[in-house]
A and B are shown apart, each in its own frame.
Chain A
Amino acid sequence: MYKTIELKALTDNYASLSEWLEGIIASFGISGKLANKINVCSEEIFVNIASYAYPEETGQVKVLLSKEGNEIILKFEDEGFEYNPLQKEDPDITLSYDKRPIGGLGIFMVKEMSKNVEYERKNNKNILTITFNTD
C-alpha cells in the first residue's frame, strides 16, 4: 500500500517532501543509513524533476513510498517531457578534482545507493521506481 504526496515541481518544495518522507520512513521503523539513502535518492530525483522536467509551465510531481516485505519502493511520477535519467553516463569518479566536472553525481548516487532503479514512460508520464532492501 503506497503512501502518496503530490507537489508542484519546484525546488522550494523539497522541504515539504523531506518532512513528509521523514514521517513515513519513521512509521516504517527505518532509521540510520537506510533512512539516509532514501532521503538522498528522493532529493536527487525531486531536484532533477524540478529543474528539468517542465521547461515552460511548472507541473506536478507525485511521490509514492511503500514497504513490501523486506523492500522499500520509492516511486516518482511526472508529466514533464520524456526523460530517462538512467541513460545518463556515469561520471568518472577516479578523476582528480581539477579534471572533474562540477555536476553529474545525482543519478549515479541513486544507482549506487539503491538495489534497483527502473524507468518507464507510460500514459505521457515519466515513472521512476527505486527499490531498497531493508536488510
Chain B
Amino acid sequence: MSSIEKKKFGTSELFIKPIGRIDVTSTPELENEVNSEIESISYLTIDMSEVDYISSVGLRALLSFQKQLASKGEMKIINVKPEVLEIFAMVGFDKVLNII
C-alpha cells in the first residue's frame, strides 16, 4: 500500500481510504491507523475504491475491526472493486461485512 487517507469526523467517526494493495506488507500500517482510534470511535468507513488486491491477512484485519465495532457502532465498506468483491464472496465476507 503506498498510503492511507484518514479523516476523523467529530470524536466517534473515522474514514479510512487505503491506496493500493492490502497485503502482508501493508496490513500492519492499516491496523495501526485503525487500532489507534478504535477504542474511541463507534463508526468506521473504509473506502476501497483504490484497492485492487486483498489477501487473507487483510481480510483478517477487516474482520477484527468489525468484531470490535459491532457492539458499539458500525463498520461500512464502500466502493469495493469487482475483483475485491469476488474475494469477499469467496470467503463469505459479502454476508458478514456491511458492504455498500
Q: What chain A residues lie within 8 Å of B23 (beta carbons)?
A: 14, 18, 43
Q: What chain B residues lie within 8 Å of A15 (beta carbons)?
A: 25
- Interface residues of A, dominant DSSP: helix
Q: What chain B residues lie within 8 Å of A95 (beta carbons)?
A: 92, 96
Q: What chain B residues lie within 8 Å of A102 (beta carbons)?
A: 60, 63-64, 67
How many A-B pairs with Cβ below 8 Å?
Answer: 65
Q: What chain A residues lie within 8 Å of B53 (beta carbons)?
A: 36, 39-40
Instruction: Please give the residue numbers on chain B whose beta carbons come within 8 Å of chain A beta carbons, in ascending order.
Output: 23-25, 52-53, 55-57, 59-60, 63-64, 66-67, 70, 83, 86-87, 90-92, 95-97
Cα A102 to Cα B62 in complex, Å, equals: 9
Contacting B at CB under 8 A, from A67-114, are: 91, 93-98, 100, 102-103, 105-106, 108-109, 112-113
Q: Are A109 and B90 in contact (CB under 8 A)?
A: yes
Q: Does A117 contact B (CB under 8 A)?
A: no
Q: Are B87 and A40 in contact (CB under 8 A)?
A: yes
Q: Are A97 and B24 in contact (CB under 8 A)?
A: no
Contacting B at CB under 8 A, from A14-39, are: 14-15, 18, 32-33, 36, 39
Cα A92 to Cα B52 in complex, Å, equals: 25
Which residue in B24, B59, B97 is a CB contact (below 8 Å) of A105? Answer: B59
Q: What chain B residues lie within 8 Å of A108 (beta carbons)?
A: 91
Q: Are B55 and A100 in contact (CB under 8 A)?
A: no
Q: A47-B57, A103-B56, A103-B60 are in contact. List 7 more A-B contacts (CB 8 A).
A: A36-B53, A36-B83, A43-B57, A47-B24, A91-B91, A94-B92, A95-B96
Q: Does A116 contact B (CB under 8 A)?
A: no
Given known contacts A11-B24, A47-B24, A103-B56, is B70 in contact with A98 (CB within 8 Å)? yes
Q: What chain A residues lie within 8 Å of B96 (beta carbons)?
A: 95-97, 100
